[in-house]
Structure 1
Amino acid sequence: MGITQLRYTDLPIGDRAAFELVCARHGFAPAHFEISACAKSGEPEDERLVTVRRGGWAQSYHDRHGQWIRQFEADLTCRFFK
């Protein structure tokens, strides 16, 4: 069972649009963050692990049908990435 590494541009367009909207709501641009994801081959697409980095801070989220974006926004609200 292999692991596939994905970049931000490999994520579904809906996830990218939602991420960009969340960033804008909190005064950021997507370019302020480094996004990567990994998925085990043979597992559903929504089971991937998405990692968001900014400066020395990083947080990983389980995708679960876009839940990672809600969790990321909660972290922005709590100023985790500032």
Structure 2
Amino acid sequence: MERALERYTDLPIGARAAFELVCARHGFAPAHFEVIAGADPDDAAHRPLVTIRRGGWAQSYFADEAGHWVRQFETDLNCRFFK
């Protein structure tokens, strides 16, 4: 059974709060980004994948219980990937 894609507001509360905090630290609001989460169809294990888009830029991160994707997203913000 295929898992439906989720939007930012459907993320677990902890991940959503961490994402909001990272956005605020860098002068953004969550509304500045399109966030889609779902199982990676190209991964044999179908691990959850979070894709973030802003303008013509997009990046995908494997989502895990520890929230590493939020740290990877912040690293991309530090590198000005989404500007």
TM-score class, shorter: 0.7 to 0.9
Which segments of 5 or more consecutive residues in structure 2 lack a partner in the other structure? none
- Aligned pair 1:22/2:22, yes or no? yes
Moved segments of 4+, more than 3 Å: none
Which residue does the alignment assign to 1:81?
Answer: 82
Which residue does the alignment assign to 1:51?
Answer: 51
- CA distance in 2: counterparts of 1:32 and 1:2, whole angstroms: 28
State the identity as a percent. 71
**1:9-38 CA deviation, whole Å, 9 max, x = no partner?**
110011111000000101111110000011
Which segments of 5 or more consecutive residues in structure 1 lack a partner in the other structure? none
Larger RCO (CA under 8 A, 6+ residues apart): 1
**Equivalent residue runs for 1:29-68 within 5 Å:** 29-39=29-39, 47-65=47-65, 66-68=67-69
How many residue pairs are counted as aligned between the two chains?
78
- CA distance in 1: counterparts of 2:62 and 2:7, whole angstroms: 15
Using structure 2 for the length normalisation, give the TM-score: 0.86
